[in-house]
Amino acid sequence: MTAVTKRSALTRLSTFVARRRWLKTTLLLGPPLLWLVVVYLGSLFSLMAQSFFQLDDFTGIVERTFSLDTWKRFFDNPGNVPTAVRTLLMATAVTLGSLGIAFPLAYYVARYARGRIKTLLVLGVLIPLWSSYLVRVYAWKTILSNEGAVNWVLDHLGLGAVVDFLLGLPFIGGNSLSTSELGQFAVFTYVWLPYMVLPIISAIEKIPRSLLEASSDLGAHSPTTFRKVVWPLAIPGVVAGSIFTFSLTLGDYIIPQIIGDSSPFIGLSIYLFQGVAGDLPQAAAFSFVPMAIMAVYLTLARRTGAFENL
């Protein structure tokens, strides 16, 4: 008897909800929207608001009154522009480097690899993600050190001069592979590579074989087919991957602490302002830089239809 009442109550409730579209939508989207607006956008706005407060140098306490002082100091700081440029260049280089390695690999996996080989290749890309990021970065520091594995192998192959030459180059060189921009580039590329490979695989897998056959039937050579058919259809995957590699490099503050010559990146600067100097307004002001860069990047990416592939 009670069961029947319960069921009918439930049925009536579901009918009630089903007949009112607005209610259904509200119940479905309400919680996630609330999350998005209040928690996500809310914290974003409170962060932005912080940059209009200022730090009292005497007491070290943040004064919660409107002021443009923080922004003035932000633009006066001679270190900020080089830091932003360095980070931007590295993020671009890492994205291009990852693309160069990821595309052929992804193409092979999506088009030619079958069965066990395919599983092995995909696993090979994924397995590094199972171990700690920090362990991998520290391992690279040892590998790239002056007396590390890379130098040892090259020395024994008689290629020690190549390393010396590369390290002697301006901008990318340094005292050791582990403190040079070159080393930093290698480690960033290694760490973020899987995020580039996977979206490209899924994009290429979606290209119907019939299109390639049609291209070939119409007399196009492989390079032409690649240029006119494969590449345009793979672009959404490439862009999706590049969003990962670009934004992850832009925000990273661990690798520049371990690999490289201690030159700060944007993320590291923000961390120092907030975590060490206790200057939250200054950190908030600096965090506008990566937000602005990503906003531009995402706007451009959207035009390529990349978001349909995420």
Partner 1 sequence: MKGRMRMKVRSIALFGAIALVVAACTQTPTTTVPPATTVPQGTTATTAPPGTTGTTAPPGVGAGEGALSIIAWAGYIEDGTTDPAYDWVTAYESATGCEVSVKTAGTSDEMVALMTEGAGQYDLVTASGDASLRLIKGGTVQPVDISLIPSYAKVDERLQEAAWHFVDGNHYGTPYQWGANVLMYNTDVFSEAPTSWSVIFEEQTLPDGKSNKGRIEAYDGAIAMADAALYLAAKDPALGITDPYALNQAQFDAVVALLRDQRQLAFRYWHDVFAQMEDFKNEGVVAASSWPFQVNLLVAEGQPIASTVPAEGATGWADTTMMHAAAPHPNCAYLWMEHSLNPVVQGDLAAWFGSVPAVLEACGASGLLTDTGCATNGLDSFDQIRFWKTPQADCFGAGGECKSYSNWVSTYTAILGS
Query: Which residues in this chain contact partner 1 in the complex, by CB under 8 A?
Result: 55, 57-61, 73, 77-80, 82-83, 86, 132, 134-135, 138-139, 141-142, 145-148, 175-176, 178-179, 257-258, 260-264, 269, 272-273, 275-279, 282
- In angstroms, what is the minimal distance from the CB of 61 to partner 1? 8
- In angstroms, what is the minimal distance from the CB of 39 to partner 1? 20
Residue number with CB closer to partner 1 (95 or 269): 269
d(C-alpha 95, C-alpha 192), whole Å: 9
Structure tokens at 143: 């590998």
**Distance, C-alpha 184 to centroid of its chain:** 15
Residue number with CB closer to partner 1 (138 or 231): 138
Burial of 19 (0-12, 13-18, 19+ CB in 10 A): exposed
DSSP classification of residue 211 = H
- In angstroms, what is the minimal distance from the CB of 82 to partner 1? 5
- Give a three-class secondary structure readout of 238-292: HHHHHHHHHHHHHHCCCHHHHCCCCCCCHHHHHHHHHHHCCCHHHHHHHHHHHHH
- Determine contact, residues 296/84, Cβ cutoff 8 Å: no
Residue number with CB closer to partner 1 (73 or 111): 73
Residue number with CB closer to partner 1 (199 or 256): 256
What contacts 53, CB < 8 A, 6 or more positions away?
62, 63, 64, 65, 66, 67, 70, 280, 281
Residue number with CB closer to partner 1 (248 or 258): 258
- In angstroms, what is the minimal distance from the CB of 233 to partner 1? 41
d(C-alpha 51, C-alpha 69), whole Å: 9
- In angstroms, what is the minimal distance from the CB of 205 to partner 1? 36
Q: What residues are paired with 62 via a beta bridge? A: 55
- Determine contact, residues 265/86, Cβ cutoff 8 Å: yes
Residue number with CB closer to partner 1 (95 or 178): 178
Q: Where are the alpha helices (DSSP H) in the chain?
A: 2-19, 21-34, 42-50, 69-76, 80-111, 115-126, 133-144, 149-156, 160-168, 181-205, 209-217, 222-225, 231-251, 255-258, 266-271, 280-303
Rg (CA), the chain: 26
- In angstroms, what is the minimal distance from the CB of 124 to partner 1? 21
Structure tokens at 117: 């080989």
- In angstroms, what is the minimal distance from the CB of 230 to partner 1? 41
Residue number with CB closer to partner 1 (80 or 247): 80
Residue number with CB closer to partner 1 (119 or 175): 175
- In angstroms, what is the minimal distance from the CB of 169 to partner 1? 15
- In angstroms, what is the minimal distance from the CB of 47 to partner 1? 17
Residue number with CB closer to partner 1 (38 or 139): 139
